[in-house]
Chains A and B, each alone.
Chain A
Amino acid sequence: MKVLVTVKEVAAVDDEFEIDGLTIDDRYVTADLNEWDEYAVEAAVQIREAGDDVEVVGVTIGDADTEETIRQALAKGVDRAVRVWDDALADAGLLDPETKARVLAAVAAEEDPDLVLTGVQSADDGFGATGVTLAEKLGFEWAAVVNDLDLDRDAGVAHVHRELEGGVEELTDVELPAVLTIQTGINEPRYASLRGIRQAQSKELTEYTLADLGLDAGDVDSPLEQTSLYEPESEGDATVFEGSAEETAAELAGVLRDRGVGQ
Chain B
Amino acid sequence: MTVLTVAEHRRGELRDVSRELLTAGRQVADATGGELHAAVVGGDVKAFADDLNRDGVDRIHTVDDGAEFNHDVYTQVVTQLAEAVDPDLLLLPNSVNGLDYAPAVASRLDRPLVTDAVGLSMGEEPTVTRELYGSKVETTIDVHAERAVVTVRPAEWPAAEGTGDATVEPFDAEIDESAVRSTVTGFEEVGGGEVDITDADVLVSVGRGIEEEENLDLIFDLADALDATVSASRPIIDNGWLEKDRQVGQSGKVVTPDVYIAIGISGAVQHVAGMKGADTIVAINTDPNAPIFDIADYGIHDDLFEVVPALIEEFR
Contacts and interface: CB of A to CB of B under 8 A. Distances in A.
Q: Do these two chains really belong together in a complex?
A: yes
Interface of A: 11-13, 15-17, 19, 22, 24, 94, 96-98, 101, 120, 123-133, 135-137, 141-145, 161-175, 181, 184-185, 188, 223-232, 234-236, 238-241, 245-246, 248-250, 252-253, 255-256, 259-262
Among B136, B225, B237, which residue has the most Cβ atoms of chain A within 10 A?
Answer: B136
Contacts of B273: 165
Contacts of B290: 15
Interface in B238-287: 238-240, 244, 250-254, 258-259, 273, 280, 282-283, 286-287
A140 B135 CA distance: 32
A163 B189 CA distance: 10
A165 B273 CA distance: 10
B134 A144 contact: no
B10 A256 contact: no
Contacts of B237: 185
Contacts of B252: 167
A224 B182 contact: no
Consensus secondary structure, chain A interface: mixed
Contact of B226 (A161, A232, A262): A262
B313 interface: yes
Contacts of A172: 182-185
A181 B181 CA distance: 17
Contacts of A16: 289
B210 interface: no
Per DSSP, chain B at the interface is mixed
Given A164-B97, A262-B225, A249 B240 contact: no
In the A-B complex, list the 8 residue pairs whose CB atoms are closest, starting with the nearest: A249-B310, A245-B306, A253-B314, A132-B103, A185-B238, A144-B100, A15-B287, A175-B181
B179 to A, nearest CB: 9
B237 to A, nearest CB: 7
A230 B289 CA distance: 13
Contacts of A260: 258
A141 B258 CA distance: 45
Contacts of A161: 188
B196 to A, nearest CB: 12
Interface of B: 10, 69, 71-72, 94-97, 99-104, 106-108, 112-116, 127, 130-145, 181-191, 202, 225-228, 234-235, 237-240, 244, 250-254, 258-259, 273, 280, 282-283, 286-290, 293-303, 306-307, 309-311, 313-315
A232 B186 contact: no
A129 to B, nearest CB: 4
B183 A128 contact: no
Nearest to A260: B258
Given A164-B96, A185-B234, A245 B302 contact: yes
Contacts of A96: 112-114
A259 B258 contact: yes
Given A225-B142, A238-B298, A241-B298, A144 B112 contact: no
Contact of B140 (A120, A168, A223, A226): A226
Contacts of B135: 232
B139 A133 contact: no
A238 B259 contact: no
